[in-house]
Structure 1
Amino acid sequence: MTVQDVRPAEAYDAIRNDPAAVLVDVRTDAEWTFVGLPDLSAAGKQPVLIPWQVYPAMGVNGAFVDHLHKAGATPLSRIYFLCRSGARSLAAAQAAQAAGFPNSYNVADGFEGPPDGEGHRGTVAGWKADGLPWRQR
């Protein structure tokens, strides 16, 4: 099975309208703290924070699937994975599918998207650039 990419606005709409939809942010604690988090309060939800890689070595989080289970995810959940630009979240969604979570999706372009011509993220594509709600921690 292949992980489907979805646009940030499509993921946000699903999370707002589907009780079984969950947003899992797989960035690091530093990114959550200093860059910001999706604000899902309009949906009455919070993002689930599970790092895909563990700082500082940035090795894959060996307990990732266990954390998904502990967060209440089930095979019936529709799980939208988000990272900075869409790479880590794709790997996390693939791992989740392989672990029995078939409805796993990658949020294309992630929270900040690719860098613009001046090397700044958050202006070209992604959650922030699409004008979706977010907040500083």
Structure 2
Amino acid sequence: MADLLQSDWVSQLEKDDNAVILDVRTDGEVAEGKIPNTIHIDIYKGQGFIYAVEELDKTKNFYVYCRSGGRSAQACAIMNQLGFENTYNLVGGFNEWSGDVE
């Protein structure tokens, strides 16, 4: 796992042809807006989160975010334990996001 500031997260993401953006916030948080082209899996779903994540392609590079960066760091750590090699945590999360929102 790597913690990346938004500028680094975005610049690396833009050059990455193997990227997946993962939003681990709650449904209520996602309803307030999200980064475009994301997959949403709520980390608070516990074992359900693990089951859903295990369905993902482990060869992809995952750019993970939550509201402030804490849950996404936790999600990256869980994903690394499950065999995902490339996970990138957005420091500051959606609260500090200044890019496009849908």
TM-score normalized with structure 2 length: 0.89
How many angstroms apart in 1 are the aligned matches of 2:2 and 2:13?
Answer: 16
1:37 match: secondary structure: coil
Q: CA RMSD in A?
A: 1.5
Please, which of 58, 81, 85 is the counterpart of residue 98 of structure 1? 81
Trace 1:113-132 onto structure 2 (pairs within 5 A).
Answer: 126-127=96-97, 131-132=98-99
Where 1:38 maps in the other structure, the secondary structure is coil
More helix by share: 2
What is the Cα deviation at residue 17 of structure 1?
2.3
Name stretches of at least 5 consecutive residues in structure 2 with no aligned partner. none
Contact 2:65–2:94 (CA under 8 A) maintained in structure 1? yes
- Give the structure 2 partner of residue 134 of structure 1: 101
What is the percent sequence identity of the aligned residues? 28
Residue ranges of structure 1 left out of the alignment (5+ in a row): 40-45, 55-60, 113-125
- Which portions of structure 1, spanning 4 or more consecutive aligned residues, are displaced by more than 4 angstroms? none
Give the letter for the 2:60 counterpart.
S
The Cα shift of 1:53 comes to 0.7
Specify which structure has the bigger relative contact order, considering alpha-carbon pairs within 8 angstroms and separated by 6 or more residues. Answer: 2
CA contact (8 A) 2:54 2:82 kept: no
> How many residue pairs get matched?
102
- Normalised by the length of structure 1, the TM-score is 0.68
Per the alignment, in what secondary structure is the counterpart of residue 73 of structure 2? helix
Write the distance in 2 (CA, Å) between the matches of 1:37 and 1:4.
Answer: 21
Letter of the structure 2 residue corresponding to residue 31 of structure 1: E
Aligned to 1:66: 51
**Which residue identity is paired with 1:82?**
Y
